[in-house]
Structure 1
Amino acid sequence: MENASKINTYLVLVGIVEMEHLRHLYATLALIIYIVTMIMCSMMVYTVWSEETLHEPMYIFIGNLVVNAMTSNSAVLLKLGIDLLFNFNTISLTGCLLQAFCIQSCASIEYFTFTVMVYDRYLAVCHPLRYPTLMTNGRAFQIIFVELVYVVASIGTAVALVARFSLCGMSINTIACETFTLLHLACGDTTVNNIYGTILTLTMIVGCILVVIYCYIRTVLVCLKVSSESRQKAIHTLVTHIVTFSTYLATTLFVTFRYRLGSGSLSVVSQVFIYITCLIISVLMNPLIYGIRMEVLRIKMIAKFQKICWT
């Protein structure tokens, strides 16, 4: 009976309630951003898939990053637009847990993929002769598979640990579900959840940051010794990764530690504004930065787009 009551439990998304006075405007903006980013991301994935010259580990990782962004985009932005459009301000507990799993899995995959991309560039710059054997297309897909299995297992465990609780509250002060928000509503001792969540978050973030810093330093040191043309190309790619990784790191850390440190002093409107701002930044980041800064990919995308438009 307890499990049945949990399944039929509905939670109120207070953030959406606060947006109801201009919900059609917000829904329109959310859906426009969603459609534009999905078109851009789809073009990037199609270009990488259809162009044999882009069948390289770096572009495979970019494709994985973009597909992950599309999944995250659909889990949050599309749902937000639909909720506002049809005035849905509640979500079932099952749906909430599923959304939390999707959001946090996508965030974890993003971290790991950024880290692997930096490591890939480190191998290409620091070990150019061995790179073709160290990082093949097959190995790139193996890395993506292992990354996916680890994320599903670790985040699935975090969500399962939350799902065991009964809830003492029914209101979520944002527009989407995460395990952090559900823990604030849980009845009972959440020590195990807090320890597991803290260890998982710190090991993942600190581990990724350490690998990224090491690869950046080694790559920069090698770049200083090569010709100006090779140095410029390597630094251009490196800067692209630095911008995307730093931006994503800042936005996700802000949202994560806002819950860890408590957000009681912030109004619901402030929390919604911060959440949406971080969401839009992370959603637009991949297609804009990689679509604009990666010259080879940009040229191929424009050519594909023109071909589609003229046929």
Structure 2
Amino acid sequence: MNSSSKNVSVTNFILVGLIEIESFGYVCALLALALFSVTLFMSSMIVYVTWTEKSLHEPMYILICVLIMNVMLGNASYYPKLAIDLLSGCSTISLTGCLCQSFCIQFYAASELYIFTTMAYDRYLAVGHPLRYHTLMTNITTQKISLALCVFNVVLVLVDTALTLRLTFCGVNINNVFCERISLQPLACNDITVNIMYDTILTSCIVIGCLLVIMYCYIRTVIICLKLSTEPSLKALHTLMTHMLAFSIYMGTLLFVNFRYSLTTGSVSTKVDIIIPLIGTSIAISANPLIYGIRTKALREKIACHLHKIVCRQKE
């Protein structure tokens, strides 16, 4: 690398993934818009019925609502730009736009893990300590926990963004359809040791800590439900299975996307390497509203009731 290139920092990047899939870009754009519309509709209905129906003003439904609101953030930061870029043929993104999108997606992904951890603990308290549950986990407590996790996550992601912002960049090619912090680091001209250490230590501590809590709560709750074998316990087990299904999809797609480089290096084409995060991220963002909207009986019934009212009004 010559000296002149070291003094000039790149401020615009090329999303190689958009170029790789441009041959079927219109199809991907239509799919992105369709998934965005369906996910946004389902998410909006879940948030609306949870907000308006007093019977759903319970910790479990509040946490589901918070989870779905987080999905709406991930949805908005991913699908619209992807569809617009594919339809317009644009494959570039500014450093500012890149950091904003990276911040939103990183915030969404981390918040998802925190919320799933809180939901697992909530179900454990409901099943393992039913007499004390309404004292230990009130609506106010749930809201305070959600707010605290949000502030905590904002601080952590802002620090990560600030560490990335201090870098100067020599490369321009981001091997993805969207901008993520991990894709930016290899493009830096200067030393990224601090960034790597921060990411590694923080991610390891948070992921391991959350997974330990989730696994403990899930295992204990399942054991208690199977021992009791009563109708409330079976209902609680069904709810837990819904949480586990959503969490498994989240973790599976997250691991699949994050480890794609080590899994695919030198063995498959660049286009396949691009399609992996495209599909994985789409599944992760779209799954939760559909899972909770279909498998959660109270939400499903309330949504169906509201849709029926809307249809009846239109016929009048």
Q: Normalising by structure 1, report the TM-score.
A: 0.94
Query: Aligned partners of 1:218 and 1:78: how far apart in 2?
Result: 41
Q: Which residue of 2 aligns with 1:258?
A: 260
**Shift of residue 263 of structure 1?**
5.8
Query: Aligned partners of 1:166 and 1:16: how far apart in 2?
Result: 24
**Shift of residue 262 of structure 1?**
7.9
Query: Aligned partners of 1:224 and 1:36: how far apart in 2?
Result: 36
Is the deviation greater in 219-228 or in 100-109?
219-228
Q: Which residue of 2 aligns with 1:195?
A: 197
Q: Which residue of 2 aligns with 1:80?
A: 82
Unaligned runs of 5+ in 1: none
Aligned-partner residue type, residue 99 of structure 1: Q
RMSD, aligned CA: 1.5
Structure 2 residue 226 is the aligned partner of structure 1 residue 224: yes
Whether the 8 Å CA contact 1:11–1:171 is kept in 2: the answer is: yes
Aligned-partner residue type, residue 137 of structure 2: M
Query: Aligned partners of 1:72 and 1:271: how far apart in 2?
Result: 21
Q: Secondary structure at the match of 2:188?
A: coil
Query: Aligned partners of 1:28 and 1:167: how far apart in 2?
Result: 33
Whether the 8 Å CA contact 2:260–2:273 is kept in 1: the answer is: no
Structure 2 residue 22 is the aligned partner of structure 1 residue 38: no
Q: Which residue of 2 aligns with 1:110?
A: 112
Aligned-partner residue type, residue 101 of structure 2: Q
Residues 257, 204 of structure 1: alpha-carbon distance in 2 compared, 3 angstrom cutoff: farther
Whether the 8 Å CA contact 2:168–2:189 is kept in 1: the answer is: yes
Q: Secondary structure at the match of 2:130?
A: coil
Aligned-partner residue type, residue 121 of structure 1: R
Give matches, 1:7-156, under 5 Å. 9-156=11-158
Unaligned runs of 5+ in 2: 1-7
Query: Aligned partners of 1:101 and 1:128: how far apart in 2?
Result: 39
Equivalenced residue count is 305
**Shift of residue 74 of structure 1?**
1.0
Q: Which residue of 2 aligns with 1:281?
A: 283
Q: Which runs of 4+ in 1 moved over 4 A?
A: 261-264
Aligned-partner residue type, residue 194 of structure 1: I
Choose from 166, 173, 178 the match for 1:164.
166
Q: Which residue of 1 aligns with 2:4?
A: none
Q: Secondary structure at the match of 1:153?
A: helix
Residues 164, 267 of structure 1: alpha-carbon distance in 2 compared, 3 angstrom cutoff: farther
Query: Aligned partners of 1:84 and 1:290: how far apart in 2?
Result: 30
Whether the 8 Å CA contact 2:25–2:86 is kept in 1: the answer is: yes
